[in-house]
Chain A
Amino acid sequence: NAGVTQTPKFQVLKTGQSMTLQCAQDMNHEYMSWYRQDPGMGLRLIHYSVGAGITDQGEVPNGYNVSRSTTEDFPLRLLSAAPSQTSVYFCASTSSTNTEAFFGQGTRLTVV
């Protein structure tokens, strides 16, 4: 059972470039989320989804887009990368019975 698969693990972008962080889960979880983790701060919620076709903003959504066309996949898109988006990104999934969240391996993104 793969759990939550997140790619890539590392990425360097130039300012203004776009990219998509991929996230897939095979646990049939309804809820999926994206977080960013910055030094000295806790993980902060970027966007979340409660099911296919339903997404909403979290605490720090600016500069990011998401979509959820299937239960399994929840990609995060950076349309025009900025140095302020240098961070470690985590995707997570949770069942609707609201037990623990399962996290992907993380993506370390550097924008230069």
Chain B
Amino acid sequence: ILNVEQSPQSLHVQEGDSTNFTCSFPSSNFYALHWYRWETAKSPEALFVMTLNGDEKKKGRISATLNTKEGYSYLYIKGSQPEDSATYLCARTANAGGTSYGKLTFGQGTILTVHP
């Protein structure tokens, strides 16, 4: 995998459904994997930053896992609510001698719409 790829591109679910998204990324020269939540007309906000293979992070109903060896991460939302509607962005940073210089390579995002 040469680029950061996210799937699906968009997702429509009903309130209460659980859902998950996938982010695939180059596994070589890996530094960190970021997940951001981006609501229309607002700034992207960080959900998780993960660095270690096997990392699992959780914030309320949202959780994420990381597999750096095979180059993928999953984002899970349990019991989706209408306020979860947003674009979810995945981004990878590469290792540049022990730092990333803050240079993010983004996937194209997954647009989630949660219907009441």
Contact = CB atoms under 8 A, between A and B. Distances in A.
Interface in B66-92: 89, 91
Given A100-B46, A104-B43, A105-B43, A43 B104 contact: yes
B115 interface: no
Interface residues of A, number: 29
Contacts of A99: 49
A42 interface: yes
Interface of B: 4, 6, 31-32, 34, 36, 42-46, 49, 89, 91, 93, 99-109
A103 B43 CA distance: 6
Contacts of A41: 108
Contacts, number: 70
Interface stretch (A62-70, A77-85, A90-98): A90-98
Nearest to A38: B108
B42 A100 contact: no
B107 to A, nearest CB: 5
